[in-house]
Every structure is written in structure tokens, then in C-alpha cells.
Amino acid sequence: MEALEKHDIQGLVLKGYGRMTHTRYVLLRVDDPARAKAWLADIAPEISDGNHSAQRTCLNVAFTYPGLRALGMRDDNLRQFAREFREGLTDPHRKRLLGDLHADDPERWQWGGTSGDARAEDVHVMLMVFAATVEILTDYWAQLEPVVLAHGLGVIGKLVGELTDDGKNAFGFNDGIAQPDIAGNHPDTRPDNTVAAGEFLLGYKNEYGVLPESPYIAAGDQQGDVSLLPTVGPDQKDLGRNGSYLVFRQMQIHRHEFWEFVREKSARDEAAAVRLASKMFGRWPSGAPLVLFPDADPGGEHYDVALGYADDQEGLRCPIGSHIRRANPRDDFEDNGPAKSLSLTKKHRLIRRGRNYKTDADATGEEVGLHFVCFNADIAEQFEFIQHTWVNYPHFNNLHNDPDPIIGVASKSKDDEPKDGAPQNFTVQQRPVNRHVLNLPRFVTIRGGAYFFFPSLKAIRYLATI
């Protein structure tokens, strides 16, 4: 197992910053590249790394493809980055792949889309500011903001997030449970949940036993101080090592519509409604997994425990199409045995670092949701694969017309019909006859997002010199 260079890895990949319960994601536009690069050089020592023991604040930074270009990176070096990162979320093919159509179309997004004052081409940098309290966050940003503005950067958006005391999301369910353990990050990890570092970090071997594709640049390149970067082979430098790709999706959650739907499908029986909602998630509101606790919510802790579905192949305890089961099938994927299923699913895991958000109430009411944040070394094989092949796919694991009931239902067209006219249902496996919950509405609307490069600390210093 290769030792992780934690001093060079931005800390958010390795840690969830659980003590830093308040967050401000600041979207920046590069107006003056020279001054912006001077700012990068100045903040590099402040960036929180994998060894950082946060008490009050943490700071991380990420860049979009347009952002790297705005800093002055040449096209021949930009071409070394992954295609998905270069094309971005607004690419027509990617919109279809992820299901970002109709109500979720990037033309309707608040930021990162194809219209408005914070379009994809204008979102260059995301400064991620974390703090232990709202007051500390406010004071810390008050120190950072004037420095940002004085260095040729424009603030085009501020997204405020938080971790709740009970760990629950806007739906009312404990979230962020069962994260994969990165090999080399913790000494006491479980083998079934330990995933090769190269699935999340560039420059390390992945579950295939090979290095993931990384942006290499020539060792003799005259753009910037390449001596700051690690050498790979005799003539190349690795701009990606110890970095990752960050996926950010702002997901508005329609919690009232969700609970109204499950109550209506449960004849207004509150206990039955909670049970159906839990079947759709695959966990009880406390976070306890149905596969271990099929009859009632035991309450208590977060239940980040070893679990699998090989002993529940029929889905009688946890429905096959439930959200957590299809987002990570674990040891029961299609007709593969437990060992092969686990090996396959490890090649499609994500490190999730999402946080809740809510807007101030206005004429249209309060908006609540999730800032979905995840890290992966291969966007196509991880985030996009999960979203397209496991979440959106209606025939997942031999189901029929069953998308992920929480985040996979197709958005509506202008005529308020599913995009392809197909029914969208949720199947509860039971004896003697399965129950089919018909005509799922969509409980999530995408409001913004982008793909970011999350560089190492060495790469941040290099970017300041290009």
C-alpha cells in the first residue's frame, strides 16, 4: 500500500471537516490573471492539507477548465486534463447522459449554466471556506474578501452550506453515511470498504492496479516553474498527483412534495408513510439501514457499519431500487457473486463531502437543498457512471421502469410529462406480490454545478507561476 503524501493533498479529500459545520463556497471570476496568480501564491500557505487539525477554520480551492485557461494555461497543457472536465456539465451530450433536461436544463441554472451572470464560462475558481461557527465564518470571510477583490478576482456567487447537528438532510434522513475508506489514509479500515487511493487521488494506483489518467506536462515546458511538480518518467511532470476532480451539484430538494407523496400513497397513515419513505431511501430517518433493521427504526447512532445485500437478493428487507442500494450495490450487483460484485462496485465509488443549504425566504418561499460535493479520479467511470447507469437507468438490476426514486426520476417537460413518456415507478419487493408505487414525481431540481480540478498544494504553487 503506497503511503499518501498528506502534506501535499488538500484536506477535504481525506477529511469531512466535521467540526467545521459552516461553509461558504465562493465562486470567483479571474479578471486580472497576473494579480490572481499573485493571490494564489499568497494563499497557498493557508490551504488546509491532509495533516491539518482544524480547530476554527479550513480553506481549500478548486478550478474549472475555463478558470485554468483564464489564468493563462496554454491549450497544449489544458488538453492533458480529462475530457469530461474539459467539456463540463453544459455539454449537450453530458446533459443527456446525466438527465439535465427540461426543469434541470443548465439554461435554467442559477450558476454554472448557459445563461445569467454566473455562466459556466465565468465560473473560474471556487474558494471553499469552512469554520466552526457562523461568527467565525463571517469574520474569516471578512478577512479574505478584500484580499480577493484586490487581486483581480470578481465574486460572482456565494453559496452557504452547513452540517446539521443530527446529520440529517432536507428530506429528514441521516445522510453522508458509509463513506469509502481511502487505502493508506486510516490504519484500521475494513477490507470490504477500503478502496484504492487511485480511485480518488491522481498519481496513485486505482482498483484496476494502474495509475488513473493524469495531466502530465513536459519537464522542459517553459510555462511556469515545472520544478515545483513531481517528476513522472524522464521527461514529464505530473500536474495531477495528489489532486482530484471535484463534482459540485446544487440540488434543490422538494421536501414538502416528497412527504405529501408518500403520505398520499400510504392512505395518510404517518407510520406507513415513514416506512415507505425509508424503503425509497434504503435507510430509516436515523440512518439505520433497512437490510439490518427491516421492521422498525432503532434510532441511535449513524450506523456507518459493514453491510451488504448478498443475503437479501430478493430485496425483501431493502428494496432493490432504493436510493442507497443502487448508488452502491456493494456485494449484490446483477448476477455476480458477492466477491465479484464488491470488486466491481469498488471501481465506481465516490468520496462525498456534501452539505445542506437553505436560502432566505422570499416571495417564492424558502429553498432548501444539498450542495452535493464529491471527489473522484475518473469522472466518467465514477460520478457519471453512477448517475447514468445506476441512478437514472430504469432497468437497474432487472427492474422495470424504476429510476432511483429520490434523485433519478426524469425531469418534466413543458407539458409536465416525463421526458420520454415512460412510467416512472418504485417497486417494493414483498410476498406474495410486489407493490408498485406508481407515477413518481421528481423531488430534486438541479440549480447549478460544475466540474472542478482540485489540485495538490504543489500544483497550486505551480499555477501561481504560469
- For residue range 305-336, what is the model confidence (pLDDT) as tens digits? 778 999 999 999 999 999 999 999 999 988 89
Least confident window among 93-107, 118-132, 194-208, 399-413? 399-413
Task: Give the integer Cα–Cα distance in Å for 277 and 171.
Answer: 9
**Is 421 within 8 Å of 427 (Cβ atoms)?**
no
Task: Extract the C-alpha cell encoding 322.
Answer: 432504493
Q: What is the mean pLDDT of residues 423-447?
A: 96
The whole-number pLDDT of residue 144 equals 97
Task: Give the integer Cα–Cα distance in Å for 18 and 26.
Answer: 20
From residue 65, alpha-carbon distances to 62, 245, 293, 449 in Å are 10, 11, 45, 13
**Is 204 within 8 Å of 242 (Cβ atoms)?**
no
The whole-number pLDDT of residue 416 equals 47
Mean per-residue pLDDT over the chain, rounded: 93
Task: Give the integer Cα–Cα distance in Å for 373 and 367.
Answer: 18
Strands 236-238 vs 153-162: parallel, antiparallel or unpaired: unpaired
pLDDT of 362 strictly over 50: no
The whole-number pLDDT of residue 305 equals 74
The whole-number pLDDT of residue 302 equals 61
State pLDDT tens for residues 229-284. 999 988 999 999 999 999 999 999 999 999 999 999 999 999 999 999 999 999 99
Task: Give the integer Cα–Cα distance in Å for 4 and 6.
Answer: 5
* E-state strands within 50-137: 57-63, 125-131
**Is 92 within 8 Å of 85 (Cβ atoms)?**
no
The whole-number pLDDT of residue 166 equals 87
With vertex at residue 43, the alpha carbon angle to CA 54 and CA 251, rounded to the nearest 5 degrees, is: 65
pLDDT of 363 strictly over 70: no
